[in-house]
Amino acid sequence: MKEIDTLVHEIKSVWHAYSEVIENKEGFRHNLVEKQHKYTLYCGFSFPDKKKSLLFGFYNASSGRSMVMPHGKGFSVAHAKSEALSPEYDWITIVCDEEEYEEIFLSMLRDLLHVINEREMDSDGAQLLQIVIDRIRAWQKFLGKSKALTLTKEQEIGLWGELIVFLRLLESDCSPYLLCTMWSGPENAPQDFIHAGYAIEVKTNVHQLLKKVRISSLEQLDASPFAALFLICNILTVDDQEGRTLASLVSLLTSMLSEDELKQSFQNKLISYGYIEEYSMYYDTPYTVLEQYLYQIDSLFPVLTPQNVPKEVVSALYTLDLSQYSSSVSFEEIVKKWSVRQNVY
């Protein structure tokens, strides 16, 4: 495979050349930019709307089964068939729907090429196609939230907090497969970790000595659907000596997930959250946990839920002052509950 930067440069050159072409007939015009045994890549435009597009072919990928294409903001993905295309490959087109998404489209392209490069040796054509589809789906989830390629400082801190809990659970011998599945924060779930009747919500602040946390919905601390719901409050400090940046924390967790499928699942969730590896250098603030408070949400805990507010109140954003509350549970107790539940399922 050519260097990714070389491929991207060639693709941009083709797009530039086609930008001057006028074509009234509906269809695609593509140029070959890469051909390997397991996959082939063309790039060009869809006409007459003149939208930038990619055409990926994966060797013998379908095996007679139908694969559902992802749908979402930013990019259109569809199966492609043409007599001009080799029948040995299964083809998909990826079209950038609007000009405002073109920078993100390029970032997604680099990411797709990177993951193909990582997985090509140990994957067949069908597996590569599934990897690419899953990755595009993660990008579309990200685009459903934002058009920015970098996280806000608040989002960076929030993700750092979720990942430090992920790390502690991983270091406590929780199953990596289970963790990658139950990490629900990137999926817009009300809680950040959900599995088999148990849930954890993580709140993270920097230099916030008062124990105040912002609750973003009536459902976030609603324990009624769960056997147990826990709240973990991280208070961080900037520490140039012992701290970890978000980028280094991501790198550490990725290295601890030994199997390629796990790494890919983890990376897809990071993209869904809005963490794009290409822009990881922007997250250069090293944090460490100064204090951590843990609570089990019970009937006495001060929360607003759909059950205890007037029916006319359908949403709420509120702040809890927990300075009068002491931690009601240890991290070890949370891990024990998760572990017991893990053995049941």
Cβ neighbour number for residue 189 with a 10 Å cutoff:
16
> What are the structure tokens assigned to 186, written together?
């990137």
Report domain extents, the chain. 4-143, 153-344
**Chain segment 218-261, per-residue pLDDT in tens:** 999 999 999 999 999 999 999 999 999 999 999 999 999 988 89
pLDDT of 83 reads: 84
pLDDT of 345 reads: 43
Q: In order along the chain (345 residues), what is the average pLDDT of each group of 10 residues?
A: 88 89 82 92 90 93 67 86 88 91 93 94 92 93 87 96 96 90 92 92 86 92 95 95 96 93 95 95 96 92 94 94 86 79 50
Q: Which residues contact 329 (CB under 8 A, 6 or more apart)?
A: 230, 294, 295, 296
3-state class (DSSP) for residue 155: helix
Please enumerate, as own/partner, the contacts of 60-63 that have beta carbons within 8 Å and a separation of 24 or more: 60/88, 60/89, 60/90, 60/124, 60/125, 60/126, 61/89, 61/90, 61/124, 61/125, 61/126, 61/128, 61/129, 62/90, 62/126, 62/129, 63/126
Q: How far apart are CA 206 and CA 236, in angstroms?
A: 5
Hunting for tokens 């990619």 — which residue is that?
54
pLDDT of 252 reads: 97
pLDDT of 209 reads: 66
> What are the structure tokens assigned to 302, written together?
């001060």
pLDDT of 288 reads: 96
pLDDT of 340 reads: 54
3-state class (DSSP) for residue 304: coil
Q: How far apart are CA 102 and CA 94, in angstroms?
A: 12
Contact call for residues 259 and 230 (beta carbons, < 8 A): no
Q: How far apart are CA 79 and CA 82, in angstroms?
A: 10
Element (H, E) at 238: strand 228-238
Contact call for residues 26 and 75 (beta carbons, < 8 A): no
pLDDT of 341 reads: 55
Model pTM score: 0.90
Element (H, E) at 90: strand 89-96
pLDDT of 344 reads: 45
Classify residue 340 by burial, with Cβ atoms within 10 Å: 0-12, 13-18, 19+. Answer: exposed
Q: How far apart are CA 255 and CA 158, in angstroms?
A: 21
pLDDT of 210 reads: 66
Strands 89-96 vs 51-59: parallel, antiparallel or unpaired: antiparallel
